[in-house]
Amino acid sequence: MSRTTKQSTVTADASLKEGIDQKYPGTTWVSQGQPYTTAQIDALLDKRIAANKESDQKYADWLGSCAAAKLLMEQTSPVIHSVEQRIRAEVGSDPAGLATFGLKPLRKGKRTAQSKAQAAEKAVATRKRNGTKPAQSPPPAVTIAKE
């Protein structure tokens, strides 16, 4: 099963038009009960060819516009990011204050078991390197209830 591309459709339409003009000039064609002259068929084929070529151009323009927008985003992201960071530093995590600038409070991501295990391994390695011991937590307070 072959796939019909836009270019093959344009080529087929142009060939059909040329063949009809050479072999069937002045013929009336009937399609779905409607009569069409060769000139009308030529006009329909011309419209199809022009529409396909126009859509190709618009698609190419759109791709160029997307590439330009992507480049602009890459070039300006560091500046915009630093502005947002400054606003976050001044406003804090106040949702109302951040909403003034169209920002939302940052949320901490959930830590996975793997990231927790890696953090524990790094902590042990750091303590070993520095020659320190982990902080001891005070024993829990025990209260005795008198009767």
pLDDT for residue 134 = 74
Query: CB-based contacts of 105: which residues, under 8 Å, 6+ apart?
Result: 93, 94, 95, 98
pLDDT for residue 52 = 92
In angstroms, rounded to a whole number, what is the distance separating the alpha carbons of residues 86 and 105?
A: 14
pLDDT for residue 3 = 73
Beta strand segments in the chain, E: 28-31, 34-37
Sorted by where each begins, the domain ranges of the chain are 6-76
**What stretches in the chain show pLDDT beneath 50?**
none
Other CB atoms within 10 Å distance of the CB of residue 113: 7
- 101: its two tokens: 């600038």
pLDDT for residue 147 = 63
The single-letter DSSP state of residue 105 is -
pLDDT for residue 18 = 95
